[in-house]
Amino acid sequence: MARNLLAPFATGFALAMLAAVPASSQSALGGMNTNAPVDVAADRIEVQDRADRAIFSGNVQVRQGNLSLDAARITVAYTGSVTGGVEVQRLDASGGVFVRSPSETARGQFAVYDLNRRLITLVGGVELNQGGNIIRGGRLVIDLDSGRAVIDGRSQGGDGLVTQGTPSGRVTGRFTVPQRGN
């Protein structure tokens, strides 16, 4: 039974995670080819079929085309579909989450991808890099429908725990400027 579940699940999981931003978008972490094959590697997978959940743990690596996501652990919440496959609802990544495209990188301690609301949220010491530009904060929220990305200085988890992204609790950034002759 696990064999039948894992094949569509792994494909659905990876496509859902990596199809976050359209290839034509210039928003944070854009520029991916969602038609490329998906590769997932982890030290362990545990399928909790009755709880509609699967947990990838131990050096989890997800690759699709030129986009990658690395984390210590990814929990995937899914529901069964009428056709017998799985429908991924939410992905929770923890343990040094690192997302990389050719032009940007983002990192944080935790990430949540809500597929129904089309939101990706990174929390805990968030850093977004594009070229020489760096923005740091406590929480990064990317709305995949609008392409809008918002960084807050502090983040608050569902348990009420407030974490600070920077020592001041504020958003900080450093931006490159064009070099001009004097």
Mean pLDDT for 15-43 is: 50
Q: What CATH number does the domain containing 106 carry?
A: 2.60.450.10
What is the reported pTM?
A: 0.71
If one counts the domains in the chain, the total is 1
30, 18 Cβ separation under 8 angstroms: no
108, 120 Cβ separation under 8 angstroms: no
- HSE at residue 164, side-chain half, CA atoms within 13 A, is 6
Residue 179 domain flag: no
Residue 116 domain flag: yes
Tokens 């990174």 — which residue? 122
| Residues of the domain holding 87 | 2-174
Residue 133 domain flag: yes
Residue 182 domain flag: no
Farthest-apart Cα atoms in the chain, separation = 70
**Local confidence band at 40 (pLDDT 50, 70, 90 cut-offs):** confident
pLDDT at residue 142 in the model: 81
